[in-house]
Amino acid sequence: MKNASFTLNGLHHVSALSAHIERTHNFYPRVLGLRPIIKTVSQDEPGMYHLFYGDGAGSPGSDLTVFDLPQAAPERHGNNSISCTTFRIHGPAAFGYRNSGVVDRHYFRSAYVREPNGILFELATEGPGFEVDGPKDEDRLSLPPSLEPRRREIEEQLKPLTRVPA
């Protein structure tokens, strides 16, 4: 898809909300066959998990992400449903449309735009990728450098996740 200022290269990832993060953490690998890619936290709300699942390599376009939101209502449009659709773009220079401004998500760079009905879309770069922290370790909590000084505090807020073997 091409616009005068940037080209959409496809989906980057889709994000959902979960009131039952442990069940969700087991569902995606066991039922959908997605592999855990990275376990991190919401950079906007560090007290909640942000889990990434995908093809094992974390290839843009294969990811489904889930935010831990225990108070989320049962799924219906707008609740416990897809919260944001993210498109892949080649680089920050493609953020030509009126947007939120570039946000450094450590694993990629994003800008947010709303369509005329208020639906939120995220435009995200393909890199630097999940290996920016070193080799992937699905059991280790990955944090961007800005949150690393708060690791102990953040880890104390998060309930442990256990995964049922596939």
Q: Give the residue-averaged pLDDT of 39-50.
A: 92
pLDDT greater than 80 at residue 158:
yes
pLDDT at 113 over 90: no
Predicted pLDDT at 4: 53
Give me the chain's average pLDDT, please: 79
- In one-letter notation, the amino acid at residue 136 is K
Q: Is the dihedral of CA 71, 74, 79, 81 positive or negative?
A: positive
Give the residue among 71, 70, 66 at the shortest CA–CA distance from 84.
66
- What is the C-alpha separation between 28 and 10, in angstroms, rounded? 22
Is residue 37 helix, strand or coil?
strand
| Sign of the four-CA dihedral 111, 103, 64, 44 | negative
Residue 2: pLDDT band with limits 50, 70, 90: low
What's the DSSP call for residue 83? E
Where are the chain's structural domains? 11-157
Predicted local distance difference test score (pLDDT) of residue 130: 81
pTM of the model as a whole: 0.57
Q: Residue 126: pLDDT band by 50, 70, 90 thresholds?
A: confident
Residue 117: pLDDT band (50, 70, 90) is very low
Burial class (CB in 10 A: 0-12, 13-18, 19+), 106: middle
Would you identify the CATH topology of the domain 11-157?
2,3-Dihydroxybiphenyl 1,2-Dioxygenase; domain 1 (3.10.180)
| Cis amide leading into 128 (omega within 30) | yes
pLDDT tops 70 at residue 156: yes
pLDDT tier at 133, thresholds 50, 70, 90 = confident
The neighbouring-strand residues paired with 120 are: 114
Confidence of residue 78 (pLDDT cuts 50, 70, 90): low
Cα(114)–Cα(111) distance, integer angstroms: 10
Torsion angle defined by CA atoms of residues 113, 78, 22 and 54, in that order, rounded to the nearest 10 degrees: -40
